[in-house]
């Protein structure tokens, strides 16, 4: 049967493209001679060209057409399979309800297939429509559905977040609910059918009915219902999380600050006791005092790291930029850590060229960088080992400067701190600069030192990285812009 033969049976087929159901017609050989636009949309095709001329069996996964042969026909010879699967443009299964019937007229035989997209539920999930409504109504995220950029449905959580009722939201452009700075980006993503081809997420400010702004994570997911392109919108409120984070930051800062005063008094008392009583104490007692001094120093560094992390999180972190001699900063750091260095009889080699240019930085913050890197090296270097601190100028355009976040056409200074410890497994190298990350969960420290190092270096328009091999030690390197390096 040809398309012309089909037209002789059904005149004016335009009405078929107006149906929500997909329709195809196949000749006696099973070859599709007609498909309407709704069928193309259900299967993800732009038009029907890719469907016409193919055996209708190819629209289904293997063995799926056999189900029509087993289905019991009704009085009209219609065989219905309500839970069928068809293959979309990408070859993925699409849950549908399919009816297939055989017709004869004027010596011609043909088959008509009708397709209705299944309800939006996971294949084989067994979820009823009522269960789906309950999931939507009780979801923690605000959810709405867009058609042509307008809200056509919203759940209770979306109403709660926006402050509007469902009947007020219906027909409202989504972008009208966002702050001005976010409207253009979201409008570009959802404007026009097919513009949104994959899920997208971004942080936005939701303008509520009361005039407040809520910081939310907005996720846009393209979808389709029959021939209609839709966008599913998921809105996750981040304001409560940010308030909790701020409370935690304030708490840590307050506790750390309160600990500094008594700890300073303890440190001073132990130092005075060590100086005055040391000549009269046995070696064992002097060792106890030394251990107390070391641990007090370690506690001071932990508190300093906690305070620094809190300042950076709260936005109260400011740099006092000036010309800084890194060699002098290194000497201050080594002197401050001398108790730990001498205890393990570690040698610290300084490999600094005489003509090393100064950097533009905050001296106190860069002292923290050296303190944290040297303290880390001391922990993992065995007694009698060596720590090497090497520095060198880096000319603009060097490969090590080909990273985002660095100043273009600027000379830098590179510093590398290398220990002779056991090394770090490769899978940890990308994680060790994260907050509260530790290679050894039972080891000393709280996992903030390297996170603070990275934050401080990056605020100086630098970068930091690590290299390691098991059994061969670890090197931490960072680069900082040289003073007048442009």
Tens digit of each residue's pLDDT (9 = 90 or more) over 374-385: 988 998 899 999
Q: Could you tell me what percent of the chain has a pLDDT over 90?
A: 26
**Residue 316 confidence (pLDDT) above 70:** no
pLDDT at 311: 66
Q: 237 or 278: whose pLDDT is higher?
A: 237
pLDDT at 388: 95
What is the rounded CA–CA span in Å between residue 342 and residue 344? 5
Q: 325 or 436: whose pLDDT is higher?
A: 325
What domains are there in the chain, each with its CATH number? 3-117 (3.30.450.20), 129-237 (3.30.450.20), 244-316 (1.10.287), 318-486 (3.30.565.10)
pLDDT-based confidence at residue 80 (cuts at 50, 70, 90): confident
Contact 117, 98 (CB under 8 A): no
Structure pTM? 0.48
Across 157-178, average pLDDT: 87
Across 8-27, average pLDDT: 72
pLDDT-based confidence at residue 125 (cuts at 50, 70, 90): very low
pLDDT-based confidence at residue 121 (cuts at 50, 70, 90): very low
pLDDT at 253: 63
SS3 235: strand
CA 366 to each of CA 118, 175, 285, 469, 479: distance values in angstroms, whole numbers, following the listed order: 62, 45, 36, 27, 12
Average the pLDDT over each of 49-58, 101-110, 220-229 and give the range with the smallest value.
220-229
pLDDT-based confidence at residue 66 (cuts at 50, 70, 90): confident
**Residue 11 confidence (pLDDT) above 60:** no
**Residue 329 confidence (pLDDT) above 90:** yes
Number of neighbouring beta carbons within 10 Å of residue 202:
13
CA 82 to each of CA 59, 146, 388: distance values in angstroms, whole numbers, following the listed order: 16, 28, 73
pLDDT at 414: 96
Contacts by 265-270 with C-beta closer than 8 Å and gap 24+? Answer: 266/296, 267/293, 267/296, 267/297, 267/300, 270/296
pLDDT at 416: 96
Extract the tokens encoding 3.
């398309």
**Residue 462 confidence (pLDDT) above 90:** yes
Q: 271 or 203: whose pLDDT is higher?
A: 203
pLDDT-based confidence at residue 123 (cuts at 50, 70, 90): very low
The DSSP code for 218 is E
pLDDT at 50: 92
Across 219-231, average pLDDT: 78
**Residue 73 confidence (pLDDT) above 90:** no
Contact 322, 363 (CB under 8 A): yes
Angle 433-439-444 (CA atoms, 0-180°, nearest 5)?
A: 95
Report which of 348, 315, 314 is spatially closest to residue 330, judged by C-alpha positions: 348
Contacts by 446-452 with C-beta closer than 8 Å and gap 24+? Answer: 446/302, 446/305, 446/306, 448/302, 448/305, 448/306, 448/308, 448/309, 449/301, 449/305, 449/372, 449/375, 449/376, 450/372, 450/376, 450/476, 451/309, 452/305, 452/308, 452/309, 452/312, 452/368, 452/372
pLDDT at 445: 61
Extract the tokens encoding 132.
């789906």
pLDDT at 424: 87
Per-chain mean pLDDT for the chain: 81
Contact 237, 161 (CB under 8 A): yes
Across 101-123, average pLDDT: 75
Phi, psi of 179 (to 5 degrees): -70, 160
Across 346-373, average pLDDT: 92
pLDDT at 337: 87
In 3-state terms the chain splits into helix, strand, coil percentages (rounded to 5) of: 40, 25, 35
pLDDT-based confidence at residue 297 (cuts at 50, 70, 90): confident
**Residue 446 confidence (pLDDT) above 60:** yes
**Residue 14 confidence (pLDDT) above 50:** yes
Cα end-to-end span (Å), the chain: 78
Contact 451, 435 (CB under 8 A): yes
Q: 130 or 331: whose pLDDT is higher?
A: 331
The DSSP code for 54 is S
**Residue 63 confidence (pLDDT) above 50:** yes
Burial of 215 (0-12, 13-18, 19+ CB in 10 A): middle
Number of neighbouring beta carbons within 10 Å of residue 387:
24
The crossing angle, in degrees rounded to 10, of helices 449-459 and 283-314 is: 50
Q: 379 or 250: whose pLDDT is higher?
A: 379
pLDDT for 410-425, tens place per residue?
999 999 999 998 888 8
Cα of 222 vs its chain's centroid, Å: 20
What is the rounded CA–CA span in Å between residue 330 and residue 304? 18
Q: What is the DSSP string of 77-132?
A: -EEEEEEEEEE-TTS-EEEEEEEEEEEEETTEEEEEEEEEEPPSS-TT----HHHH
Residues present in the chain in total: 486
Average the pLDDT over each of 91-105, 252-266, 396-410 and give the range with the smallest value.
252-266
pLDDT for 252-295, tens place per residue?
666 666 676 677 777 777 777 777 777 777 777 777 777 787 77
């Amino acid at each position: 049967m040809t398309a012309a033969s089909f037209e002789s049976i059904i005149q004016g087929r335009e009405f078929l493209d107006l149906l929500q159901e997909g329709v195809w017609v196949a000749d006696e050989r099973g070859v599709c001679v007609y498909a309407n636009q709704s069928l193309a949309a259900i299967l993800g095709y732009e038009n029907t060209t890719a469907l016409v001329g193919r055996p209708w069996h190819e629209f289904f996964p293997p063995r799926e057409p056999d189900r029509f042969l087993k289905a019991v026909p009704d009085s009209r010879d219609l065989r219905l399979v309500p839970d069928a699967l068809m293959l979309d443009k990408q070859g993925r299964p699409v849950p549908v309800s399919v009816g297939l019937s055989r017709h004869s007229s004027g010596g011609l035989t043909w088959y008509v297939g009708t397709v209705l997209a299944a309800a939006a539920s996971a294949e084989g999930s067994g979820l009823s429509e009522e269960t789906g409504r309950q999931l939507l109504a009780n979801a923690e995220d605000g959810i709405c559905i867009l058609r042509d950029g307008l809200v056509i449905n919203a759940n209770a959580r979306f109403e709660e977040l926006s402050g509007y009722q469902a009947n007020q939201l219906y027909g409202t452009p989504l972008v009208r609910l966002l702050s001005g700075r976010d409207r253009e980006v979201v409008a570009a993503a959802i404007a026009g059918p097919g513009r949104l081809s994959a899920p997208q997420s971004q942080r936005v400010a939701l303008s509520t009915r009361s005039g407040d702004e809520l910081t939310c994570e907005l996720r846009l997911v393209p979808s389709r219902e029959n021939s209609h392109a839709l966008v599913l919108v998921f809105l996750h409120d981040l304001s409560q999380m940010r308030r909790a984070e701020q409370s935690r930051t304030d708490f840590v800062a307050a506790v750390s600050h309160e600990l500094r005063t008594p700890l300073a008094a303890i440190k001073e008392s132990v130092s005075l006791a060590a100086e005055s009583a040391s000549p009269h104490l046995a070696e064992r007692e002097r060792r106890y005092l030394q251990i107390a001094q070391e641990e007090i120093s370690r506690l001071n560094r932990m508190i300093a790291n906690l305070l620094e992390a809190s300042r950076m999180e709260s936005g109260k972190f400011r740099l006092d930029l000036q010309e800084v001699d890194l060699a002098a900063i290194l000497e201050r750091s080594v002197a401050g850590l001398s108790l730990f260095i001498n205890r393990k009889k570690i040698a610290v080699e300084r490999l600094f060229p005489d003509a090393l240019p100064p950097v533009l930085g905050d001296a106190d913050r860069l002292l923290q960088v050296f303190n944290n890197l040297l303290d880390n090296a001391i922990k993992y270097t065995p007694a009698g080992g060596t720590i090497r601190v090497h520095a060198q100028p880096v000319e603009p355009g060097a490969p090590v400067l080909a990273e985002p976040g660095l100043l273009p056409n600027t000379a830098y200074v590179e510093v590398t701190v290398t220990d002779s410890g056991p090394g770090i497994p490769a899978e940890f190298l990308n994680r060790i600069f994260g907050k509260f990350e530790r290679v050894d969960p039972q080891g000393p420290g709280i996992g903030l030192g390297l996170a603070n190092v990275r934050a401080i270096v990056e605020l100086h328009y630098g970068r930091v990285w690590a290299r390691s091999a098991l059994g061969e030690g670890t090197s931490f390197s960072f680069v900082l812009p040289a003073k007048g390096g442009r």
